[in-house]
Amino acid sequence: MDLSEISVFCPATIANISCGFDVLGVALDTIGDKMVVRKTKGQGIRITKLEGQDLPMETQLNVAGVAGLALLAKSSYTGGFEIEMFKKIKAGSGIGSSAASSAGAVWAMNELLGRPFTKLQLVTFAMEGERLASGVAHADNVAPALYGGFTLVRSYEPLDIVEVHCPPELYATVIHPQIEVKTSDSRKILKTNITLKDGIKQWGNVGGLIAGLFLEDYPLIGRCLEDHIVEPIRSMLIPGFDRVKSEALKAGALGCGISGSGPSIFAFSKGGVAAGKVALAMKEVYGNIGIDYDVHISKVNVDGVRPLSE
């Protein structure tokens, strides 16, 4: 079937997952954007509609446009594309707004072209959108958005993505305090050197987390959700972080940390009931502080970007 237009769901993602800075990510199932992409006879990419967020519509200034141009540059297709974007993920929220747009655009274009590119190639195209958004072409958000589930970026040079098993009862609770933390700004405050002691702790947690996911060992997953390198610095940019984390753990969360570069905070729980209790605990903290917030509870999205039926 020769498709000329496709509507897709572009999932939100949690990146870093405490111990896995720039290498670990997971796709969410109930939070995401919608995108409509259609072929055009004219060359290039045009963004014809953008609702939900105040973002640039110029192709070279929009992450979806830049990612799409990267795909076109490697394609034999002589036409172009139009993109309509319906943003539900707020920019600067820490749950992969730019990744959703970048991944959604290249996934949809690849479908319309008959899937000439592999998922790994699509990640490289989507990373160019991330370069525009943050100054760094990182893959920890776009990889799970395209592959679904948990992903590990084993290597950037060459790019090597590993799909990681997800336990069926693992739920994420995400609270987004209504402040903006730009990824580019939150990267600037990070240290460029770490101690060997902290490195050893972090490597142990990454290995343990991967093992816990494959073994479906929920307590092990929880023990490994510790970040000795990035969280102590970035948490200073998020009002109430320590209190939210403490209350989430008291409410039964397996672990809790910063989602991406923040300000969103995520917690993992075993089962939806536990995730709901964690959400109530998180909400109470920000209610007392007086900061507006959004809360999401989601299973893991094992499909990633997916087509929407109209």
Catalytic (active-site) positions = 130, 183
**Burial of 16 per CB tally in 10 Å (0-12, 13-18, 19+):** buried
CB 46 within 8 A of CB 174: no
Q: Which of 99, 80, 98, 95 has the alpha carbon at shortest distance from 37?
A: 80
* Distance separating the N- and C-terminal Cα atoms of the chain: 17
Phi/psi class of residue 16: alpha, beta or left (left: φ > 0; alpha: ψ in -120 to 50)? left
Helices (H), 36-81: 63-73
Q: How far is CA 170 from CA 67, 191, 289, in A?
A: 31, 32, 29
Residue where the block lists tokens 């992903």: 151
